[in-house]
Amino acid sequence: MQKSKRLLLLLTIWLGFVLVLAGAWRQLTAVAAPQAANRYVAPGGVDGSNDCTNPNNPCSSLMYAVQQTEAGDTVIVAAGFYTETDTINFFRDVTIQGAGLEQTIVSVPTDPNIWRVFLVYGGVNVSISHLTLRNADRSGILNIGNLTLDQVSIADNRGVLGGGGIYNESGAVITITDSLISNNGQGNDVAAGMLNFGQATIQRALVVGNKAGSYGGGLHNQGTLLLENVTFTLNEADSGTAVSNGGSGVITMTNVTIARNTNTQTNPSQASAISNFGTSIQASNSLIAENGPNQQCSGTTPLTSLGHNLNSHNDCNFNQPTDLLSADPLLDTFASVSGTPNWVSALTLANNSPALDAGSSTTCPATDARGLPRPVDGNLDGTAVCDIGAYEAQRFGAFLPMIVR
């Protein structure tokens, strides 16, 4: 009995000693997780064996710098025009920061074999800001992961096979703020500006001058899409010249302006700015007008009005007491972006527009598309109420000082 106890005690001591040695070995051999680093890219930089971490010795290629990154790194891209030799692939979490959407231009050569500028793979979180990307044969961006775009211009991508500006895959998540989607598509395929099968949010954006062949000049949605303070204008397609919705697509629009989009088909009576064959489109504080030459809205699924919308015709199923039907919004020119928080313009409203102070201040965002505050007393009646659409008139009454004799 005593012998068994002694053996058990020795065995316990031996096991404890082994565990202590194992813990010490793990501490000695453990490799610390790499710390997130900044990588630098600038015109005149050098790639080769450079790891891009020295701001005084930057790399020359964004694609090369991204290949050097570890998860969590930030690539800082100086002002300049960068023509990359192929698609930039993102396999790990990375942040890309340019110097400004008019200063840092990332392009690819005109080559049918270079399908995209950026490709974000599944399970990857990427944030891109303050730059322009352009000239891809298919899509400026293919997103399969989780992508954030802030103050980015996506322009002049040819859109072969659809989704010229952005292609957001099923299961992917994309958030776009303070950005421009312009001049994508060649009029041959669908969804020139954006094709969404996943989850997308677009806030404070201008979607302008995109050209699809059949539908979705501005965008086509078959996923979940939130639009807030977005202007769609001068886009072209056979139908859904601004927005088309299909399949199980769900769109929510708040303070959206859809105006001056045009059709390209031979039978213009079938054209419309919004084409809804999807599950639903809900609209509030939104303006749909001056899209030509005939219908503003069409499709098998009527739009759902949440109130305070304006339709220059009476074909969008706006049926709430606060909706304005067959109303001329008296749209004016593009708003100046000089001195505004971002580079996003919007169509302005004339001083006597019925859209002034006709929105709901309960549901409208705190700013308009340019980042300027809401609500403002646009009709100078003494009460600040949000305007309908993406633009908030910044009108202020003149107050003369009282002269005391």
pLDDT higher than 90, residue 19? no
Q: Classify residue 4: in a domain, yes or no.
A: no
pLDDT higher than 60, residue 20? no
pLDDT higher than 50, residue 398? no
Q: Classify residue 31: in a domain, yes or no.
A: no
Q: Classify residue 71: in a domain, yes or no.
A: no
- Distance, CA of 153 to CA of 130 (rounded, Å): 8
- Distance, CA of 347 to CA of 191 (rounded, Å): 22
Number of domains in the chain: 1
| Per-residue pLDDT, 343 | 79
DSSP string of 72-130? Answer: TEEEEE-SEEEE-SS-EEE-S-EEEE-S-TTTEEEE--S-TT--EEEEEPTT-EEEEEE
| Per-residue pLDDT, 13 | 52
Tell me how crowded residue 54 is: count the other CB atoms within 10 A of its CB.
12
| Per-residue pLDDT, 107 | 97
Q: Classify residue 141: in a domain, yes or no.
A: no
| First-to-final CA distance of the chain | 117
Quick one: residue 369, left, alpha or beta (phi over 0 = left, psi -120 to 50 = alpha)?
Answer: alpha
- Distance, CA of 1 to CA of 405 (rounded, Å): 117
Amino acid at 242: A
> What value does the mean pLDDT take over residues 389-393?
97
Q: Classify residue 113: in a domain, yes or no.
A: no
> Where does residue 350 rank: exposed (0-12), middle (13-18), buried (19+ CB within 10 A)?
middle
Q: Is the pLDDT higher at 177 or at 293?
A: 177
> What value does the mean pLDDT take over residues 254-261?
96
* Residue corresponding to tokens 């105006």: 259
64 close to 49: Cβ distance less than 8 angstroms: no
- Distance, CA of 281 to CA of 269 (rounded, Å): 22
169 close to 143: Cβ distance less than 8 angstroms: yes
| Per-residue pLDDT, 3 | 52
Q: Classify residue 134: in a domain, yes or no.
A: no
- Distance, CA of 75 to CA of 39 (rounded, Å): 5
Structural domain including 191 reads 158-398
Q: Classify residue 375: in a domain, yes or no.
A: yes
Q: What is the pLDDT of residues 310-359, one digit of tens each?
A: 999 999 999 999 999 999 999 999 998 876 777 799 999 999 999 999 99
Q: Classify residue 393: in a domain, yes or no.
A: yes
Q: What is the pLDDT of residues 199-217, one digit of tens each?
A: 999 999 999 999 998 899 9
Q: What is the pLDDT of residues 97-136, one digit of tens each?
A: 999 999 999 999 999 999 999 999 999 999 999 999 999 9
